[in-house]
Amino acid sequence: MDKKEVAAILNDIGTALELKGENPFKVRSYYNAARNIETIGEDINPLAKEDRLREIPGVGESIAEKIKELLATGKMKYYEDLQKELPEGLFEMLRIPGMGPKKIKAIWDELGITDVAALEYACHENRIAALPHFGERSQEKILEGIAFIKKAQGRYISSEIREQAESLENALKKDKNIIRISIAGSIRRRCETSKDIDIVVSSKKPEEVGEKFAALPQVATVTAQGETKVSVILKSNVAADLRIVDDRQFPYALHHFTGSKEHNVAMRGRAEKKFSMKMNEYGLFAVGKGKGGEDKLIPCKDEAEIFQKLGLAYIEPELRENMGEIEAAEKGKLPKLIEEKDVRGVIHVHTDYSDGLGSIKEFTDACIKMGYEYMAVADHSATATYANGVDEKRLKKQHGEIDALNKKLKGFKIFKSTEVDILSDGSLDYSKDALKTFDFVIAAVHARMPNKELEMTKAVIKALENPYTSMLGHPTGRLLLAREPFKINIEKVIDACAANGVVIEINANPQRLDLDWRYVKRALEKDVKFCICPDAHRINDINDIKYGVAAARKGWATKADVVNCLPAAKFLAALKRN
DNA sequence: GCCGTTTTCGGCCCGACTGTTTTCAGTCG
């Protein structure tokens, strides 16, 4: 059992305790412990064996004992007892917007309802409205909420939701009553998926701005409308919140609603402990320093000044996850993050030799037009028959075509590469003779792999040790909101990349963003280099590079960490080749 | 349940909005 599974169980316990109506601080302690366990940089099993679990922040005597029991026996009595006590359906009911533990418990106690289906039925029978502290409107809202989770599952890929957020932002920008405006929340932090859209604006006429927002053509229904906040559901079924503040408050509100929640909690803690300041969406205040002992606002013209007042360098939104950014900002050790313009080469392009839509020439022309300096063709290998994989005979033809094009090109270079399948025994899907003919080789896992973590990890590590492997493509195979990552020990894979000088791909396809940014940070600590690749199957996919850059930024990468920020010759020199 | 160069007990981030109430609890971010 790994730390992720342990953390998931602790999270479940937290939720269960909430449903039971336990002390909220006790509940929080389980969530805290789960969160901290997820982010420790080592395996949890040795920690338990050496009795060092309590070194993890948020893990005290009681939780440490429970984890020890879980790791030693595979079971935790406390958890099992809670599960027996609470019907499973209650947890699903929590996903209904507006339904929290208290309401669910009340409905359970009063009506014996323990799942979403029964709840929906009870609403139709008008039995919820009759409960104390519920009414007609509550019942309607529950039905709306159930419809919402049924339809949307509640999360969206970054590229899709960002587009919608920008369309709202652009529509609002035309309003002269708006002084400053910014997208906030997880979209601004460049998370790989988001639940909803947050926009912050400043204005002297909040009500008019709110009216305007509620009346935008993108909006389907208005779910809340107050002086500082308007919540809507868009026609796309995405929820969007607009926060309207006074212009003086804008920097504080932008910081607050950008989050993450964990970053904000840490910032508030710092403000209070080190500076006796209070922080919320309306300002940063010196406690008791105003007239008559009131709190006094510390003026800040922008976010950078807020950080400065708290003794910190400016923290880019992507880094605000309370994953060490505050400590680094204090010491002036924040990285200078990579930017889109730093990327010089388009690596991992599928042409019409395999499953790409476009010839080598067409991709080349597009790359040149977009200002790139080099490109690497990387079609599928022969085993990938589903993708029209290239056999060794057609490979020769492709290489001839690339050589001919390179002769004509000036100031642009096409590299010969491949996305070669890692086979189930860890060998690569081309012969040595064929592998020799590439400028460099990207190895990647596709179908027909062992479904056991140990075997899968072993096969991939064997491929990384192959002298011809220069780069590992989409390391976990995840498809966001659609397919779970492979069962693979990614920590061991990262170690093997470090040991063998293999570069890891950050696959920039917005549905993949694989390697996950959390592991990008981890791998950087081990001096692994990255390559941001669009995995382009059509010309337009080259534009996905920007999502890969966002993921790299979120993982703390600088341009020095990313090999395709180098000029062509140095790029090639940075890769392990045989 | 966790935590502590003010604390081993008494805190634990904070404010808006909604719906049900007639002063507030629950939810959300």
- Is A407's CB less than 7 Å from nucleic acid strand B? no
User: Which CATH superfamily is A340-575 part of?
Assistant: Metal-dependent hydrolases (3.20.20.140)
Within window 165-204 on A, which residues have Cβ closer than 7 Å to strand B? 185, 195-196, 198
**Which pLDDT value is given to residue A482?**
61
What is the CA A575 to C1' B28 distance in angstroms? Answer: 48
Whether the pLDDT of residue A36 is over 80: the answer is yes
Count CB atoms within 10 A of the CB of residue A140. Answer: 13
CATH 3.20.20.140 residue spans of chain A: 340-575
Domain A3-153 fold is DNA polymerase; domain 1 (1.10.150)
CB A271 within 8 A of CB A279: yes
Residues 207-226 of A with CB under 7 A from strand B: 223-226
Output the pLDDT for position A448: 59
Nucleotides of strand B within 7 Å of the protein's CB atoms:
1-3, 11-21, 25-29
A60 touches strand B (CB under 7 A): yes
Contact A353, A345 (CB under 8 A): no
The reply to whether A284 Cβ lies less than 7 angstroms from strand B is no
In chain A, which segments carry CATH 3.30.210.10? Answer: 251-331
Integer distance in angstroms from CA A276 to C1' B6?
Answer: 14
Q: A78-98 pLDDT, tens per residue?
A: 999 999 999 988 988 988 888
pLDDT tens, A431-488?
A: 999 999 999 999 998 865 666 788 889 999 999 999 999 999 999 888 786 666 788 8
Q: Structure tokens of A210?
A: 């709110």
In the 260-279 segment of chain A, residues within 7 Å (Cβ) of strand B are 261, 264-265, 268-269, 272, 278
Tokens of residue A167, six digits: 């369309």
Asked: is A251-331 a CATH 3.30.210.10 domain? The reply is: yes
How many angstroms separate the CA of A438 from the C1' of B22?
A: 79
Reported as a single tens digit per residue, the pLDDT across A308-336 is 999 999 999 999 999 999 999 999 999 99
- Which 3 state secondary structure label does DSSP give A180? strand
* Residue A384 pLDDT class (50, 70, 90 cuts): confident
Check residue A153 and give its pLDDT. 66
Strand B reaches within 7 A of the A151 CB: no
Question: A156-245 belongs to which homologous superfamily?
Answer: Beta Polymerase, domain 2 (3.30.460.10)
The segment with the largest mean pLDDT, out of A168-177, A270-279, A440-449, is A168-177
Q: Which segments of chain A belong to CATH 1.10.150.110?
A: 3-153
Strands in A283-286's sheet, in edge-to-edge order, are A277-280, A283-286, A296-297
CA distance A214 to A52: 54
Element (H, E) at A82: helix A77-85
A354 contact partners, CB below 8 Å, separation of at least 6: A379, A380, A384, A387, A388, A389, A390
Look at residue A145 in the predicted model and tell me its pLDDT: 86
Q: Is the pLDDT score of A530 beyond 70? A: yes
Task: Report the C-alpha gap between A507 and A509 in whole angstroms.
Answer: 6
Does residue A321 reach within 7 angstroms of strand B, measured from its CB? Answer: no
- pLDDT at residue A39, rounded to an integer: 73
* Tally of CB atoms within 10 A around A10: 28
**pTM for this structure?**
0.78
Measured CA to C1', the nucleotide nearest A140 is B19
Mean predicted confidence (pLDDT) in A197-216: 94
pLDDT at A151: 66
Please give the sequence-ordered ranges of beta strands (E in DSSP) within A142-282, or none if there are none.
156-157, 178-183, 193-194, 196-203, 219-225, 229-234, 239-245, 277-280
Determine if strand B comes within 7 Å of the CB of A154: no
Helix, strand, or coil (residue A530): strand
